[in-house]
Structure 1
Amino acid sequence: MAHVERQPLNEADRQSAPSRVAGLAMNGLHTLLGLALLLVVGINFVNAVSRYLLGVSPLGADELMVYIVIWVVMVAAVLSLIMRSHINVNLLPIYTSGRTRHLLHVIHDAAAVLACGYATYASWLFIGRISRLGVTSMGLGVPMTVPHAALLAGFAGLTVAGAFMLVRDVIALVRNAPHTRMAP
């Protein structure tokens, strides 16, 4: 039998299976979001060409682009919060370490849960109101609950992600665990 030399584990091998699955899911979502934005660019191109060269305006093209972008932004917001890659002013956490950094993350997570939880509740109430009215879009006739559901889904996702991160960061604060950074 041939001797097989053992190679040291690289970073990908050290990750747990759920971490690899989560990473693959996030990469898949990023790809899907990118394709959705390319679809918006394509719709915009077709809209411009048909409007200015052919004199025909496609019905609902502008609405469709806006609805897709709203959904993309809300899904991307959830991913950004999970990966902590959102736009923020992190001057203070950069210069802190240990429990202080964990405490700052806990405060950030708690603020995100409170703000996004309130926005989720407000979105739920608003969708209930427009649903009862039966409001539809002017061009496509889409029930307005569909684009507004993006806000509900996004803020609910942000609330759940923030709550998960809050629990994780409270545990890290109590244990004084080393800091980890997710790769985009």
Structure 2
Amino acid sequence: MTALTRGVDFVLRLVITSAFAVLVVCVVWQVFSRYVLESPSTVTDEMARFLFIWVALLGGAYTLGQRRHLAIDLLPVVTTGKARFAVNAGIIGAIALFAGLIMIYGGLGLVSRTLETGQVSPALRIPMGFIYVAIPFSGICILYYCLTFFADLVRDGRGPNEQLEPPAPGRPLT
């Protein structure tokens, strides 16, 4: 694992755990203010929604990078040799294509359009483009991980669903 990949992993873990911690506080406060104070907070409701978007998108990118994403690996398991290489390269290519076209290209278009129109969130009054930045940012992370997966595939034949070494029984994945 390269220093750059460790850095990307660290930044994603830091952002995800921080956002998730704030998300939990927002939801707890929302429940408390709604049922105990009988005056629900609109700010924490909106903040929790936006943080959930960030946690979900960045969590998906991080999970992909850790090779723990949900996958149907029927073809890579039943093929061998050049066919297995081609299947794994196709999988990586499909993920990269989606990340590049939909998440990065489309996401940047969405961000620029919402910033140009001046759309702001109702309660927090922050530009919605800042919320939507999660889409291209996670797309960039996914694309980076796809590049590392392809390098692993070329170097040692390891596909995007294959861990470096399988964990021992009872030992959690690292």
Could you say which structure has the larger radius of gyration?
A: 1
Q: Which has the higher contact order (CA 8 A, sep 6+)?
A: 1
Please list, as runs of the form range in 1=range in 2, the aligned pairs for 1:110-125 lying within 5 A after superposition.
Answer: 110-119=93-102, 120-125=104-109
1:36 alignment partner in structure 2:
19
Asked whether the 8 Å contact 2:23–2:48 carries over to 1, the reply is yes
Q: Deviations over 1:67-119 (max 9, x none)?
A: 11111122222222222211111123233444433322211111111111111
> 23-32 or 152-161: which moved more?
23-32
- Normalised by the length of structure 2, the TM-score is 0.78
Runs of 5+ consecutive residues of structure 1 not aligned to the other structure: 1-15
Please list, as runs of the form range in 1=range in 2, the aligned pairs for 1:9-24 lying within 5 A after superposition.
Answer: 18=2, 22-23=5-6
Q: Displacement, 1:24?
A: 7.8
Asked whether the 8 Å contact 2:9–2:62 carries over to 1, the reply is yes
Change (3 A) 1:83 1:32: same
1: distance between equivalents of 2:144 and 2:6?
18
Q: RMSD of aligned C-alpha atoms? A: 2.6
Select 2:83's aligned residue among 80, 83, 100. 100
- The runs of at least 4 aligned residues of structure 1 exceeding 4 Å deviation read 21-25
Amino acid at match of 1:135: Q
Select 1:144's aligned residue among 128, 131, 138. 128
Aligned length: 162
Q: Displacement, 1:159?
A: 2.1
Select 2:71's aligned residue among 58, 65, 88. 88
Sequence identity (%): 20
2: distance between equivalents of 1:83 and 1:108?
16
Q: Displacement, 1:35?
A: 4.6
1: distance between equivalents of 2:144 and 2:12?
17
Amino acid at match of 1:159: L
Amino acid at match of 1:59: T
Asked whether the 8 Å contact 1:110–1:163 carries over to 2, the reply is no
2:5 matched to 1:47? no
Select 1:181's aligned residue among 144, 147, 163. 163
